[in-house]
Amino acid sequence: MAFFRKKKMEQTAKEAMNEEQEEIKITDKRRFNSDGEPIVIEVKDEETEEKADPKSDYVKQLESARETADKKLVEVQARFDELKNRLEREVSETRQRLNKTAEERIKREKAELIATLLPVLDNLHRAIEAGANGTLESLLDGVRGTANGFENALMNVGVEPVISIGVPFNPELHEAVDTVEVTEDKDGRITNEYARGYKLGDRLLRPARVQVGHATKPEE
Residue ranges covered by each domain of the chain: 57-157, 160-220
Return the exposure string of 176-206: e unless at least 16 CB atoms fall within 10 Å of the residue's CB, then b: eeeeeebeeebeebbbebeeebbbeeeeeee
In the prediction, which pLDDT does 138 show?
74
pLDDT (mean) for 152-162: 85
- Of 65-79, 131-145, 157-171, 186-200, the poorest mean pLDDT is in 131-145
Q: What is the mean pLDDT of residues 158-167?
A: 91
Calculate the CA 46 to chain-centre distance: 59
How many residues are present in the chain?
220
**Which of the four pLDDT bands, split at 50, 70 and 90, describes residue 8?**
low
- 48 versus 110: the higher-pLDDT residue is 110
Cα distances (Å, whole numbers) of residue 122 to 57, 111, 139, 140, 152: 97, 17, 14, 15, 14
Q: Is the pLDDT of residue 212 over 80?
A: yes
Q: What rounded mean pLDDT belongs to the chain?
A: 78
End-to-end Cα separation, the chain, in angstroms: 180
Residue of 139, 117, 135, 118 whose CA lies nearest to 127: 139
Task: Return all residues near 3 (Cβ < 8 A) that are at least 6 apart.
Answer: none
CATH 2.60.40 is the classification of domain 57-157: no
pTM for the model stands at 0.47
Q: How far apart are CA 51 and CA 56, in angstroms?
A: 7
Q: What distance lies between CA 173 and its chain's CA centroid?
A: 39
Which class is 160-220 in CATH?
mainly beta
- Condensed to tens digits (0 to 9), the pLDDT of residues 45-72 reads 554 555 556 667 778 888 888 888 888 8
* Residue 4's pLDDT band (cuts 50, 70, 90): low
Predicted pLDDT at 27: 47
- Other Cβ atoms closer than 10 A to 161: 14
Mean pLDDT of 119-131: 77
Least confident of 46-50, 131-135, 205-209, 214-218: 46-50
What SS3 state is found at 55? helix
How buried is 138 (Cβ within 10 angstroms: 0-12 exposed, 13-18 middle, 19+ buried)?
middle
